[in-house]
Structure 1
């Protein structure tokens, strides 16, 4: 698989050195924040120097600790994408929105101690200072794509026709651009804003990797719904159509907290036994992005000419995050089965962006970097899934 991570780019721009792996050679030519985190983790198996340079390139684009979710290294943003990307000006070096903050966690695995890197400390200060609305340590989002889950159906009721993958999404970008992509200004203007599960899983993983206080207790207190046995986002402001937890589409991110080494064991076992191993998720190629029996599940990734990600197909990064908890909690046979089934799919279909959840047919971009995370599951590192950061 490592041969498919050869989409290496390096150079200098605006006085900053960069080096990164393009997630896919045609569709994704720039540096994406969480793609680089996942790719660096895998690459560190055979090339720790390039893994480090990949992550350092995220720090190179940082401004006062802010790291945007795309860095436009090496080529300018074209006019068509400038309309629908989260930039203030077309010449901007980076978007003005975030992605799940996995940098410190990836650094711990791929490089070493992230607490020794001043840029990561600055990044965490920015996130805590600008995205923690209530002072409980949890982060909030101003657009669905900040979660990395883009057009997930769990956002449909929040943003309605302005959700990503809908025709009015550019209007949401335009409104947020006028507000400087400033979360507090967006919240004061009526939002909506969202305290989202996956983002806060990534945040807790990274804080723990740095030796900072864990936000897992706050995540459980705020987003765990005991009655339904699910983690569910909290939305605030002008929500398009408020829904109770049981009516929110059942999406994979309720399983993402399994990656947290300090998730209460009783919650972890409930997630594995009642959700992951149920007919909702287990028959699919690891890991369906939406429960197989949920009305929102679909294999279609286009709608009226628009790409709509995370509405059913299976993704390797989702599988890897959940797999860590499955293994840590002692479900070794099930963890091995997840690795085997995903690995067989990748060998047969190649490194695709995602896979049809039932058949495993390859979908989306080809030669997609982070799908090599299947290696992390097939050949676990020492301590993987043991609770170590």
Structure 2
């Protein structure tokens, strides 16, 4: 069978029980995006703007791919974990060696992972970045396993990924406990996945930007400057990455000018700890300690990052050991944590429906406070509404029994995904699609929300 014919077999048809021709068209369009962005071993976020494999993108892609091919979804996660370092970290980019270095910046010759990261356990091949992204991977692995348990057992999927995912979490909870409070810290704005959020602005003022001669912005070849981080932002990103590289990517010796405890990052770690418990139990291996660790992390999240006055979680800046008084979607994503105190879940839902996050142009969730001092409706994470964070909030609402609000968000997600051609994100004021089109995680999560057999996060 030809590759084209094999791909066509993965395109969903009437047997997937779409509720109408519009949803069937949407489903087929989403599937086509994932097929077109498939490289043979993994899925690129975008053929133009992001031509390599990104960490949390691949986790979201796997969650959607399981509805087309559980085998491909397994391969998606396995290919990412092939770039894992010996210290346990899962790098935020695994580079495609067939692409020229000029296809993306920072490129492999900037990160120099196999040389600069040798002491920290970077693999000889593939080349990777040296920083990380949010730990959604164990949740994705559990959902992928549940999509076809027989295939998973036959391929030994769980047995291969479980020790890698355990090492990943151990890295975050030991090497990255930079504040001593038991939560994982991020050391670069790219690590929480919300690159230029105003939540990082205060910490970034401590960073001397790199000279413009140190970098060439390939992102501006495919994205409008009004949508992308500024040159000043980029200079600071490059400086932080270069300094981390100079320290051999060693968290024990690096002097982190930027070190924050992020609510979403740690909430996803909690949910993935619960997923690890399910993965281990499915293999008849010890699992209770993962649930116990999730419970402890939940208490630490509340103690260190909850702000009752704001009605949401806030970022903690470890340089000053104070909360950052900026409202971002990162502070709402802890709704995914199943055992939050009831009063906190109620307050989060109220904040979500408030003037801070109730956007006029979309039912998705703005990335930043609509009334905030730095709100910008088009510039990346400084206001635009993203589909992956909407998916997380949707599951959080369902987790806490807010089914009507969850369904409203789901319907808005599907409508805008189709109308914008599976855009990277949308303007929260006008609802217009922004950034890349035919974006992989938008398509993947569309497939998940269209599924008639949606699976819930572990609890």
Q: Which bin holds the TM-score, normalised by the shorter protein?
A: 0.7 to 0.9
Q: CA deviation at 1:77?
A: 5.8
Give the structure 1 partner of residue 352 of structure 2: 276
Larger strand proportion, structure 1 or 2? 1
Give the structure 2 partner of residue 204 of structure 1: 270
1:374 aligns with 2:403: no
Q: Residue 124 and residue 266 in structure 1: after superposition, are their counterparts in 2 closer, same or farther (change >3 A)?
A: same
1:235 aligns with 2:265: no
Give the structure 1 partner of residue 105 of structure 2: 81
Q: Residue 221 and residue 344 in structure 1: after superposition, are their counterparts in 2 closer, same or farther (change >3 A)?
A: same
Q: How many corresponding residue pairs?
A: 364
Q: CA deviation at 1:110?
A: 1.4
1:225 aligns with 2:307: yes
256, 273, 277: which is aligned to 2:333?
A: 256
Q: CA deviation at 1:205?
A: 1.1
Larger helix proportion, structure 1 or 2? 2
Give the structure 1 partner of residue 260 of structure 2: 194
Q: Residue 377 and residue 101 in structure 1: after superposition, are their counterparts in 2 closer, same or farther (change >3 A)?
A: same
Aligned residues of 2:274 and 2:458 also touching (Cα < 8 A): no
Task: Tell me, in whole angstroms, the C-alpha distance in 2 between the residues paired with 1:381 and 1:279.
Answer: 34
Task: Tell me, in whole angstroms, the C-alpha distance in 2 between the residues paired with 1:380 and 1:156.
Answer: 41
Q: Residue 254 and residue 48 in structure 1: after superposition, are their counterparts in 2 closer, same or farther (change >3 A)?
A: same
252, 270, 277: which is aligned to 1:184?
A: 252
Give the structure 2 partner of residue 168 of structure 1: 235
Point out the structure with max Rg over C-alpha. Answer: 2
Give the secondary-structure state (helix, strand or coil) at the position aligned to 1:21.
coil
Aligned residues of 1:100 and 1:147 also touching (Cα < 8 A): yes
Give the structure 2 partner of residue 3 of structure 1: 32
Task: Tell me, in whole angstroms, the C-alpha distance in 2 between the residues paired with 1:86 and 1:126.
Answer: 24
142, 145, 166: which is aligned to 1:121?
A: 166
Task: Tell me, in whole angstroms, the C-alpha distance in 2 between the residues paired with 1:338 and 1:293.
Answer: 21
Give the structure 1 partner of residue 298 of structure 2: 216
Deviation per residue, 1:48-86 (Å, 9 max, x gap): 000000001111111212221000024356157247997
* Structure 2 segments unaligned to the other structure (5+ residues): 1-29, 116-125, 150-156, 210-228, 278-289
Q: CA deviation at 1:379?
A: 4.0
Aligned residues of 1:161 and 1:168 also touching (Cα < 8 A): no
Give the structure 2 partner of residue 51 of structure 1: 73
1:146 aligns with 2:215: no
Q: CA deviation at 1:383?
A: 4.8
Task: Tell me, in whole angstroms, the C-alpha distance in 2 between the residues paired with 1:90 and 1:9.
Answer: 23
TM-score, normalised by the number of residues in structure 2: 0.73
Aligned residues of 1:133 and 1:140 also touching (Cα < 8 A): yes
Q: CA deviation at 1:32?
A: 0.3
Give the structure 1 partner of residue 53 of structure 2: 31
Q: Residue 119 and residue 190 in structure 1: after superposition, are their counterparts in 2 closer, same or farther (change >3 A)?
A: closer
123, 129, 139: which is aligned to 1:105?
A: 139
| Structure 1 residue runs of 4 or more that deviate by more than 6 Å after TM superposition | 83-86
Aligned residues of 1:115 and 1:210 also touching (Cα < 8 A): no
Report matched runs for 1:332-343 at 5 Å. Answer: 332-343=403-414
Deviation per residue, 1:201-249 (Å, 9 max, x gap): 1111111111212021111111111232221111122x6xx9764xx22
Q: Residue 73 and residue 34 in structure 1: after superposition, are their counterparts in 2 closer, same or farther (change >3 A)?
A: same
Aligned residues of 1:77 and 1:90 also touching (Cα < 8 A): no
* Structure 1 segments unaligned to the other structure (5+ residues): 11-18, 302-308
Q: Residue 290 and residue 380 in structure 1: after superposition, are their counterparts in 2 closer, same or farther (change >3 A)?
A: farther
1:351 aligns with 2:428: no
1:63 aligns with 2:141: no
Q: Residue 381 and residue 361 in structure 1: after superposition, are their counterparts in 2 closer, same or farther (change >3 A)?
A: same
Aligned residues of 1:140 and 1:194 also touching (Cα < 8 A): yes
41, 57, 63: which is aligned to 2:63?
A: 41
Give the secondary-structure state (helix, strand or coil) at the position aligned to 2:111.
coil
Q: Residue 67 and residue 89 in structure 1: after superposition, are their counterparts in 2 closer, same or farther (change >3 A)?
A: closer
Q: CA deviation at 1:271?
A: 0.5
Bigger relative contact order, structure 1 or 2, given CA contacts below 8 A and separation 6+?
Answer: 2
Task: Tell me, in whole angstroms, the C-alpha distance in 1 between the residues paired with 2:106 and 2:44.
Answer: 19
Task: Tell me, in whole angstroms, the C-alpha distance in 1 between the residues paired with 2:332 and 2:453.
Answer: 21
Task: Tell me, in whole angstroms, the C-alpha distance in 2 between the residues paired with 1:121 and 1:55.
Answer: 14
Give the alignment's Cα RMSD to 1 decimal.
2.5
Q: CA deviation at 1:185?
A: 2.4
Q: CA deviation at 1:102?
A: 1.1
Task: Tell me, in whole angstroms, the C-alpha distance in 2 between the residues paired with 1:93 and 1:178.
Answer: 17
